[in-house]
């Protein structure tokens, strides 16, 4: 894979993580599962690449981590969206939608512009 594609994927992955965490605190495995379920087979993401992304988001202060017990009484690292992360999610969602809209308009165009 060439580098620009990775970068694009990276930004997209961050956006997806923030979105899944907007529903509430979750550990890495849950985030991976949700993304897998929601995207089906369309986005083939190595589950491992999720973790550096999570740690980087934590470093930026968009999410915070905390060790808690799961319902099965296992110790797991739970991530929670911070207010700053929520703001970021909103901004990136807007950008993403504008991007999709713009690309869609080009691809849906029926005639060549003057």
Partner 1 sequence: MSATGGRLRRILCGRVRDEVDDELAFHLDLRTRDHLAAGLSPAAARAAAERDFGDVLAVRAACITIDERRQRREERVEYMGDLWQDLRFAARSLRKSAGFALTAIVCIALGVCVTTTIYAAVDAILLRPLPYRDADRLVAVYAQNAPHGYHGSNISYPDYVAWRDGVRSLEALGIWTWTSHALSGAGGEAERVEGAAVAASLFPLLGVRPARGRAFVTAEERPGADREVLLGDALWRRRYGADPAIVGRTITIDASPYVVVGIMPPGFAFPERGQLWVPFATDPAKEAHGNRGYAGAIGRLGPGFTLDRAKADLATVSARLEREFPRDNAGWAAEAMPLRDDLVGDLRRPLLVFFGAVGLVLLIACANVANLMLARGAARQRELAVRAAIGAAAGRLARQILTESLLLALGGGVLGAALSVGGVVALRRAFPDDVPFFDALGIGGAAVGFAVLVSLAAGALFGAVPARRAARVNLNASLRDGTRGAGDGVERSRLRAGLVVAEVALSLVLMVGAGLLVRSYRAIESTDLGFAERGALTMRVSLPEAKYAAPARRQAFLDALLARTAAMPGVTAVGSAQGIPFSGWNVQADYEIEGQPPRRPGDEFVSHFQWVTPGFFAAMGVPLRRGRALTAADRDTAAYVGVVNETFARRAFPGQDPLGRRVRSGKWSPWVTIVGVVGDYRHYRLPQPMGPALYLPFAAEPPHSQTLVARTSLADPLALAPAVHAAVRALDPEVPVYQVQTLEQQVSRSLWRPRLQGQVLAVFAALALLLAVVGIYGVISYAVAQRTRELGLRLALGATRAQVLGLVLGQGGRLALGGVVVGLIGAVALSRMLASLLYGVTALDPLTFGVVPVLLGAVAMLASLGPARRATKVDPIVAMRAD
Which residue, 56 or 86, is less far from partner 1 as judged by CB? 56
Tokens of residue 71, six digits: 């319902």
Place of tokens 């901004």: 91
Q: Helix or strand or coil: residue 105?
A: helix
Single out the segment in contact with partner 1 by CB under 8 A; choices: 18-26, 47-55, 89-97, 103-111: 47-55
| Count of residues that bind partner 1 according to CB under 8 A | 19
Q: Does 66 bind partner 1 (CB under 8 A)?
A: no
- 65-86: burial string, b at 16+ Cβ within 10 Å, e else: beeeeeeeeeeeebbebbeebe
Q: Does 85 bind partner 1 (CB under 8 A)?
A: no
Site string for partner 1, 8-37 (x = CB under 8 A): -------------------xxx--x-----
Interatomic CA distance for residues 16 and 31, integer angstroms: 9
Q: Which long-range contacts (CB under 8 A, 24 or more apart) does 69-73 make?
A: 70/27
Q: Does 113 bind partner 1 (CB under 8 A)?
A: no
Among 39, 51, 98, 101, binds partner 1 (CB under 8 A): 51
**Which residues make up the interface to partner 1 (CB under 8 A)?**
27-29, 32, 46-49, 51-52, 55-56, 58-59, 67, 74-77
């Amino acid at each position: 894979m060439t580098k620009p594609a990775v970068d694009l994927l990276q930004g997209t992955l961050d956006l997806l993580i923030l979105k899944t965490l907007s529903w509430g605190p979750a550990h890495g495995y849950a985030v991976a599962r949700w993304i897998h379920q929601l995207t089906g087979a369309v986005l083939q993401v190595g589950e491992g690449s999720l973790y550096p992304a999570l740690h980087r988001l934590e470093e930026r202060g968009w999410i915070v981590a905390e060790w808690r017990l799961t319902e099965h009484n296992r110790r797991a690292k739970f991530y929670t969206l911070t207010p700053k992360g929520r703001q970021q999610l909103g901004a990136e969602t807007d950008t993403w939608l504008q991007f999709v809209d713009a690309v869609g308009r080009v691809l849906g165009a029926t005639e060549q512009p003057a």
